[in-house]
Structure 1
Amino acid sequence: MTLDVTTAAEAATGSPGAAGADRSTNRLAAHGLGLRYGNRTVVDGLDLELPGNAVTAIVGPNACGKSTLLRGLVRLLDPAAGTVTLDGSDIHRMPARSLAKRMGLLPQQPVTPEAVTVEALVRLGRFPHQRMLTPWSKADQAAVEDALTRTGMAELRDQHVDRLSGGQRQRAWIALALAQDTDLLLLDEPTTFLDLRHQLDVLDLVSDLHAQAGRTVVMVLHDLGQAARYADHLVVLKDGRLAASGAPADVLTAELVESVFQVACQVVPDPETGTPLVVPRARSRRAAAPAGPTAPTVPAAPAVLER
Structure 2
Amino acid sequence: MTPDTATTGAGAPVKGAPVVDKATNRLAARGLGLRYGSRTIVDGLDLDLPGNAVTAIVGPNACGKSTLLRGLTRLLDPAAGTVTLDGSDIHRMPARALARRMGLLPQQPVTPEAVTVEALVRLGRFPHQRMLTPWSKADQAAVDEALERTGMTGLRDQQVDRLSGGQRQRAWIALALAQDTDLLLLDEPTTFLDLRHQLDVLDLVADLHAEAGRTVVMVLHDLGQAARYADHLVVLQDGRLAAAGAPGEILTAELVERVFQVPCQVVPDPETGTPLVVPKARSRRAAARD
TM-score (norm 1): 0.85
Q: Which residue of 2 aligns with 1:172?
A: 171
Q: Which residue of 1 aligns with 2:83?
A: 84
SS in 2 for 1:272: coil
CA contact (8 A) 1:268 1:278 kept: yes
Aligned 1:63-82 pairs, distance under 5 A: 63-82=62-81
SS in 1 for 2:178: helix
CA contact (8 A) 1:233 1:246 kept: yes
Q: Which residue of 1 aligns with 2:102?
A: 103
Alignment deviations for residues 155-195 of structure 1 (CA, whole Å, 9 cap, x no partner): 00000000000000000000001110011111000000000
Aligned 1:195-210 pairs, distance under 5 A: 195-210=194-209
CA contact (8 A) 1:103 1:183 kept: yes
TM-score (norm 2): 0.90
Q: Which has the larger radius of gyration?
A: 1
Q: Which residue of 2 aligns with 1:155?
A: 154
Deviation of 1:22 (Å) = 6.0
Q: Give the % identical residues.
A: 90
Q: Which residue of 1 aligns with 2:268?
A: 269
SS in 2 for 1:44: strand
SS in 1 for 2:224: helix
Matched, 1:128 2:127: yes
CA contact (8 A) 2:190 2:201 kept: yes
Alignment deviations for residues 199-236 of structure 1 (CA, whole Å, 9 cap, x no partner): 00000000000000111000000000000000000000
CA contact (8 A) 1:23 1:216 kept: no
Q: Which residue of 1 aligns with 2:251?
A: 252
Alignment deviations for residues 107-166 of structure 1 (CA, whole Å, 9 cap, x no partner): 111000000000000000000000000000000000000000000000000000000000
Deviation of 1:24 (Å) = 5.5
Alignment deviations for residues 86-115 of structure 1 (CA, whole Å, 9 cap, x no partner): 000000011111100011111111000000
SS in 2 for 1:170: helix
SS in 2 for 1:79: coil
Runs (5+) with no aligned partner, structure 1: 1-20, 286-307
SS in 2 for 1:209: helix
In 2, Cα distance between equivalents of 1:154 and 1:24 = 34
CA contact (8 A) 1:23 1:214 kept: no
Q: Which residue of 1 aligns with 2:16?
A: none
Q: How well do the aligned residues superpose, as a CA RMSD in angstroms?
A: 1.1
Aligned 1:1-307 pairs, distance under 5 A: 25-284=24-283
Aligned length: 265
In 1, Cα distance between equivalents of 2:23 and 2:162 = 38
CA contact (8 A) 2:23 2:86 kept: no
Runs (5+) with no aligned partner, structure 2: 1-19, 285-290
Deviation of 1:284 (Å) = 3.6
CA contact (8 A) 1:34 1:80 kept: yes
In 2, Cα distance between equivalents of 1:189 and 1:164 = 19
Deviation of 1:283 (Å) = 0.7
Structure 2 counterpart of 1:161, which letter?
A: V
Structure 2 counterpart of 1:182, which letter?
A: T
Alignment deviations for residues 55-77 of structure 1 (CA, whole Å, 9 cap, x no partner): 00000000000000000000000
Structure 2 counterpart of 1:208, which letter?
A: D
State the 4+ residue runs in structure 1 displaced beyond 4 angstroms.
21-24
In 2, Cα distance between equivalents of 1:117 and 1:159 = 5
Structure 1 counterpart of 2:275, which letter?
A: P
Structure 1 counterpart of 2:85, which letter?
A: L
Structure 1 counterpart of 2:224, which letter?
A: G
